[in-house]
Structure 1
Amino acid sequence: MKVNGFLSEMQALKMEATNTSRPATGAQVSADFGAALQDAIQNVNGLQKTSSELSSRFDQGDRSVSLSDVMIARNKSSVAFEATVQVRNKLVEAYKELMNMPV
């Protein structure tokens, strides 16, 4: 999956969330967020697998795979992984902030 595609998907989810006419329950929001997060992680995993496969094929001498293809796939997976780590960091930070709130 392309990073631009991931960005447009996230923007579409944002628009969908802001345009709802009925209020969502906590369970619905949790399920939607969980599904979106799971899809994003699976996309990152897919990019990493693709990068690894292309790298292996290039190392084995497959002439249909160029060095530029390997480098592009590796950079895509790196950017996607870094974005996932940043999202995780923000979620942990938000969780810690919620836990430190007085009741």
Structure 2
Amino acid sequence: MTHSVTSILSQIRSFQTQASQPLASPLGEMPRTNAIPTGAPGSIGAPAPASFSDTLRGALSGVNEAQAKSGALARDFELGVPGADLAKVMVASQQSQIAFRATVEVRNRLVQAYQDVMNMPL
């Protein structure tokens, strides 16, 4: 169980790193420069680094979307809507269930880290 949480945390970190990297040039090369960006964070031309709260908010909205999609597919299947077959419903249900479990594990890990920091002697 701990391995899966560590894996999810490393994926979140890699997505955050990818989001903060500049886009590649048309030739596939990364621009090389020693210049320090002068624009304020969030200004036009300077990409704002992704914060932890933005990354977490995006992950939670993804879980919410997966659960909403799963619920809509299940409802469509129950109503007999064409194109809503059982396989799609089951796959969407499992995906939303796994995403929710991963979210709960990350939350538990964050709470445990917070408690560890709060219990540190000064």
Which letter maps to 1:12?
F
Q: 1:40 aligns with which of 51, 56, 59?
A: 59
Q: Does 1:62 align with 2:81?
A: yes
Equivalent residues, number: 87
Gaps of 5+ in 2: 1-9, 21-35, 37-47
TM-score (norm. length: structure 2): 0.63
What is the CA-CA distance between 1:12 and the residue it aligns to? 3.3
Gaps of 5+ in 1: 1-6, 23-27
Q: 2:114 aligns with which of 92, 95, 98?
A: 95
Q: Which residue of 2 aligns with 1:73?
A: 92
Runs of 4+ with deviation above 6 angstroms: none
Q: Which has the higher contact order (CA 8 A, sep 6+)?
A: 1
Could you say if the C-alpha distance between residues 84 and 55 of structure 1 is closer, same or farther in structure 2, counting changes exceeding 3 Å?
Answer: same
% identical equivalent positions:
37
- Which structure carries more helix by proportion? 1
**Cα RMSD (Å) of the superposition?**
2.6
